[in-house]
Structure 1
Amino acid sequence: MPEKVLVIAVKMPEDNDERFESSLAELKSLSHTAGGTVEKVMIQNRQRIHPTYYIGEGKMEEIREAAEHLGTELIISNDELSAGQLRNLTDRIGVRIIDRSQLILDIFAQRARTKEGKLQVELAQLEYTLPRLRGRGEEMSRLGAGIGTRGPGETKLETDQRHIRRRIDDIKKQLNQVVKQREQYRKRRKSNDAFQIAIVGYTNAGKSTLFNQLTKGDAMVENQLFATLDPLTRQIQLPSGFQTLITDTVGFIQDLPTSLIAAFKSTLEEVGEADFIMHVVDVSNPDLEQHQKTVDRLLEELGANKIPKLVVYNKKDRLKTDFIPMQHPNILISAAESNDISRLREQLEAAIKREWDEYSVSLAPDEGKLLHRFEQETIVTHRAFEEARNQYYVTGYIRQQHPLRSLVKEH
């Protein structure tokens, strides 16, 4: 049975109406993903957030009555609450309360599959919990398997802060090892000179479906927020025969808890290391403009905003009106249609060609291995054998730092 949820939010004069509505819609979607149904949303307009209770004392009584009337088991706040606000609100309303950050952490705890993913989630949860521990012993002891309770577990949370700090240090050490291994793996890929494409986008934009269609793989695909947490990398071949690696990454989201941004930095570092970015946008989502801005802002924070990219406007089959793209270069597709996937491969190759340099090279018949490398590691546009000269003649596009560039000069 889904948990009955009541959402509370404070709207301040400086809050943009559209963004406020979009954050509430997102919170409802997050609650659904975590296994809850939102019975009611209660908003209070205030000049500033109440330092002790988050909301005003009059509104608190309204919320308490509504929770009682609806039989609500959980209240979720749209903003992150301080330890004091969380404690005071719970005491006054008498219903379990969590905030947006805790909800997101809870979903991440459900979704993490790899050892690294699980460690990162636990670290983020412990760092979030540490300052909020005081006075939560009784509340934690009566928690079942409800939303916001997955992850480190009650016993760990009930123990003293020293234990939690030790555990945080321990996880950080383990994660450092994982990061080193990941760096070695990336260096190996770089030394093999594999070209890397990262798929990024707002959560639930259809990245994993697209990744599966391009790689014929079976990444987890669900119509839910954060279906993919652990980055997956596979090889794909573009129309010219050029082979590249492609990575599916965790979905971006506005107002991501700071502890999670830090914890998932190594997961997102894949993006900063990429040679090319595919930014997938759900074209049918009414908040697509806001979503694009969120992704662009996070790419900037990751130092990935200068990497060449192609914007893939996805889910065109769900469009109700005409669509005017905001970013270029772009392509409008439905990830479910194979013709569109073929068009995407071509467009991807065209976008890469625009970034690379043209070359032409002559190769002797006994340089077959070299010819094969040119076919796989560069984008070949023309290849012919000239009998009169007894040579292969190849033209195409090559990236600036590729080891084969020196051979182009020699030949």
Structure 2
Amino acid sequence: MFDRPEGGNRALLVALEMPGAGGEPAREEFRRLAASTGAEIVGFVGGSRRLPDPRYFVGGGKAEEIAEQVTVCDADIVIFNHGLSPAQERNLEAVVKARVLDRAGMILDIFARRARTHEGKLQVELAQLNHLVTRLVRGWSHLERQKGGIGLRGPGESQLEMDRRMIHDRMRQVRRRIEQVRRSRALNRQRRSRRDIPLVSLVGYTNAGKSTLFETLTGNATYVADQLFATLDTTLRQLPLPPHEAVILADTVGFVRDLPHTLVTAFRATLEETASATLLLHVQDAADEERDVQCEAVESVLEDIDADEVPRLDVYNKIDSLEDTQPRLDRDEHGRPVRVWVSAATGAGLDLLRQAIGERLYAQVRHWRVRLPADQGRLRAELFRLEAVIDEAFDDDGSAQLHIRMEEAQLTRLIELAGLDQTVAEAVADGDIS
């Protein structure tokens, strides 16, 4: 039976070209992720496959090829750019005679290295325990299973059950501590809400420049590096926004393709800051050819945490890497800011970004008196769903008189979709509705 080595960082990488795999850019990202674990990359095995093999994921012949490369490269660990089942990991280890790590395990290792705060470490630990509990049997593959017959009973199965109980006990402890963190964050959000302080949250693909942008905007020194997942812990700081009052800016963990679901679940307490934000700044690397694919990965995570409907402003960063691209502010057909082109590294375009944030938060949010005919129940329900209604009254003919607070462009669009004339809405000054 193969005895799994305890250490070593000489890594052989394996990435197959499969439907939706992403091609060379995805493989390059995989290399960077592997390097982020501290691995010394000594070889790479490629190939193509339409469907995963149930036993080895890569097929028997490719597994033998990987085993040969492990010997040639003197590799300690084989890292796959794919998700492997516990059985596939065990079967591969038996063939290649080295430790096997899948994509989820690799990302978990990076998070474990980068977590700095107590909260971040708790969240990473929970994700690691969730991942480990399904793979625990590998650690006891050298022990004999319980068998029938005198003298044939081994300690393996009972030890597995003991370890599982210990892990589940620890997971319960960690969840309780994370729940305390979640309640504390909820209280802080309630205080900000009572003081009517907007929360602006930075989101985006890892290494898009969120932390650099955060530091430049707030003047707060944060850990900034040209590496994947440089920031794990949410940081909140005041963002001066003259002539308005300051808002709260949040820097959050970056996203990546196929982010392990256990991490999304474990970091939910942190990511709730994103879901509860007044405005999201979706930071994108304007110079990256894979920007569209990266945006899809971000959208997927935002949907998972119920933040996909939060108002959003796109920030195209790193324009200093593009030729003939100047800072600019793009607007939609209603004149509302939708995209800002900036360079967080040089500071170019940051004044436009502050202007856009101010407009989205304050400039066009007004009080309105809206009269809806009785047959406009759908529009009325949508206004309530958006939490825009402050007060409501009904006339004798069944029409509704609503006092709402909403962006002008958003209200204009809703009225158009309902097929109504814009005269049904009348702008009024704060406190001028009887």
Of residues 286, 293, 298 in structure 1, which corresponds to 2:296? 293
Aligned mates of 2:62, 2:323 — CA distance in 1: 39
Paired amino acid for 1:74: I
Aligned mates of 1:228, 1:281 — CA distance in 2: 16
Please list the CA deviations of residues 233-289 of structure 1 after superposition, one character each: whole Å capped at 9, or x if unmatched: 111111323311110010011101111111011111101100011110011222111
Contact 2:14 2:45 (8 Å CA) reproduced: yes
Q: TM-score, normalised by structure 1?
A: 0.78
* CA shift for structure 1 position 103: 0.7
Aligned mates of 2:247, 2:116 — CA distance in 1: 25
Residue 341 (structure 1) aligned with residue 343 (structure 2): no
Of residues 184, 189, 197 in structure 2, which corresponds to 1:186? 189
Aligned mates of 2:34, 2:348 — CA distance in 1: 36
Q: TM-score, normalised by structure 2?
A: 0.74
User: 1:79 aligns to what SS in structure 2?
Assistant: coil
Of residues 287, 303, 313 in structure 1, which corresponds to 2:316? 313
Of residues 73, 77, 83 in structure 2, which corresponds to 1:74? 77
The answer for the alignment partner of 1:351 in structure 2 is 360
Of residues 89, 92, 96 in structure 2, which corresponds to 1:93? 96
Contact 1:10 1:49 (8 Å CA) reproduced: no
Contact 2:137 2:160 (8 Å CA) reproduced: no
User: 1:345 aligns to what SS in structure 2?
Assistant: helix
Residue 109 (structure 1) aligned with residue 105 (structure 2): no
Q: Taking structure 1 as reference, are residues 34 and 157 closer, same or farther at Cα in structure 2, changes over 3 Å only?
A: farther
Contact 2:329 2:352 (8 Å CA) reproduced: no
Q: CA RMSD in A?
A: 3.1
* CA shift for structure 1 position 406: 8.8
Contact 1:203 1:250 (8 Å CA) reproduced: yes
Aligned mates of 1:182, 1:298 — CA distance in 2: 20
User: 2:69 aligns to what SS in structure 1?
Assistant: helix
Aligned mates of 2:330, 2:244 — CA distance in 1: 31
Paired amino acid for 2:349: D
Please list the CA deviations of residues 327-381 of structure 1 after superposition, one character each: whole Å capped at 9, or x if unmatched: 961111110223422222122223334651279xxxxxxxxxxxxxxxxxxxxxx
Of residues 2, 16, 20 in structure 2, which corresponds to 1:16? 20
Contact 1:212 1:219 (8 Å CA) reproduced: yes
Paired amino acid for 1:330: R
Residue 409 (structure 1) aligned with residue 412 (structure 2): no
User: 1:54 aligns to what SS in structure 2?
Assistant: coil
The answer for the alignment partner of 2:12 in structure 1 is 6
The answer for the alignment partner of 1:380 in structure 2 is none
Of residues 20, 24, 32 in structure 1, which corresponds to 2:35? 32
Unaligned runs of 5+ in 2: 1-7, 143-158, 333-337, 369-403, 408-427
* CA shift for structure 1 position 399: 6.3
Contact 2:319 2:342 (8 Å CA) reproduced: yes
Aligned mates of 2:111, 2:45 — CA distance in 1: 26
Aligned mates of 1:219, 1:203 — CA distance in 2: 15
Of residues 255, 271, 274 in structure 1, which corresponds to 2:274? 271
Aligned mates of 1:238, 1:274 — CA distance in 2: 17
Higher relative contact order (CA 8 A, sep 6+): 1
Contact 1:311 1:327 (8 Å CA) reproduced: no
Q: Taking structure 1 as reference, are residues 67 and 354 closer, same or farther at Cα in structure 2, changes over 3 Å only?
A: farther
Paired amino acid for 1:5: A
Aligned mates of 1:87, 1:235 — CA distance in 2: 50
* CA shift for structure 1 position 292: 1.2
| Deviates further, 201-210 or 39-48 | 39-48
Please list the CA deviations of residues 167-191 of structure 1 after superposition, one character each: whole Å capped at 9, or x if unmatched: 1111111211111111111111111
* CA shift for structure 1 position 46: 2.4
Larger radius of gyration: 2
* CA shift for structure 1 position 8: 1.2
Contact 1:238 1:345 (8 Å CA) reproduced: yes
